[in-house]
Amino acid sequence: MTVSNRTSRSRTNARSRSSSATIDKIYAAMRESEMATWVGGSDPARIGGVNFNAILENVPLRADDVVLDFGCGIGRTAVMLADFLKQGEIVGSDIIPGEIAFCETHVAGAFSNSSFFCLDAANPLYDSFVAATTTATQRLGEGAFFERFPNKFHLVVAFSVFTHFNPSMAEHYVKVLAPITRPGGNLLLTWFLDHPSNPEGSRLDRGQNFLDRDGNLEFALFSPASVEQFAKNAGLEVKRISYGYWREWPWNTLKGQHFQDIVVLGRPMELPPDFDAQRYLALNEDVASAGMDPAKHYLLYGYAERRKIR
């Protein structure tokens, strides 16, 4: 190995150690905050790691992607994403002002590629936490937030969010998240879904599509058919469903398995209005040499590979 290679590797290792120390410091601050137990409980580093691994195992993720952590809470998953997206960007949003203020101070303060927004919205399960920290940071209207990011995100993730929605909420948020996802992008959303293996008390009756088991949206159960319909109404397609181990299945045995049920939705790829087939071939000589149809190549590969079209 040359001296320059040893130097490069040394610098990389130093950056890695520095990054790990930063992450550890942020998680330590989470553990000291009472807000760490408000939503989700358990150790924030463990939950963040589980969520991040679920992302890597269920959808493609590149270091230059732009990702929305919708319902980011205190930032358990956002920390991992901010560190991974070295050339990309992570945006986090939540309705609890105190948690967003924490993220602004600790996560955005350490990672310049991250930003956080507190949305002015309500949910009966979390309204008391909103009220407890209402002055912690500025709140932004949902309409203004979603209008701010058209076709922005390669990936939208929402952990433990749709598990606390009623049907009208779920349909609304699938619809508003769709247009801020880039064509060809994905949404990774966790739910509680009906399934023959569900435990007693967590099954839907025939013809039923939703169950608020405890009456406070702490456990919102949906039928897979209803989720498929939400996606269809929003112009999205269901690409994958990975059932979770909340059913007490043997877990850590299925690739990509999470405690909750993971649903991956995709926004279909469309040709840009200014796409020119001959220009695409001129800019991408390997496509021309292979004799591939330029439009088909762009839809299947070119967009994901960030190929130039102009």
Q: What is the span of the domain harbouring residue 190?
A: 43-266
List pLDDT tens digits, range 123-173.
Answer: 999 999 999 999 999 999 999 999 999 999 999 999 999 999 999 999 999
Residue 11: band (very low, low, confident or very high) from pLDDT cuts 50, 70, 90: very low
Question: Residue 2 domain-assigned?
Answer: no
136 and 283 fall within a common domain:
no
Within a domain: 29 = no
Residue 83 located in a structural domain: yes
Closest CA to 159 of 87, 251, 267, 67: 67
Kindly report the pTM of this predicted structure.
0.86
pLDDT in tens, 226-245: 999 999 999 999 999 999 99
- Regarding whether 182 and 102 lie in a shared domain, the answer is yes
pLDDT of residue 94: 98
The reply to whether 235 and 191 lie within a common domain is yes
Contact between 178 and 234 under an 8 Å Cβ cutoff? The reply is yes
β 237-242/261-266 pair status: antiparallel
What the block records as the tokens of 109 is 């303060």
In a domain, 11, yes or no: no
User: Is residue 254 one of the residues assigned to a domain?
Assistant: yes
Q: Annotate 27-54 with DSSP letters as a single string.
A: HHHHHHSGGGGTSS-S-HHHHHHHHHHH
Q: How many domains does the chain have?
A: 2
Higher pLDDT, 144 or 269: 144
Residues 279 and 260 in one domain: no
- Residues 291, 262, single domain; the answer is no
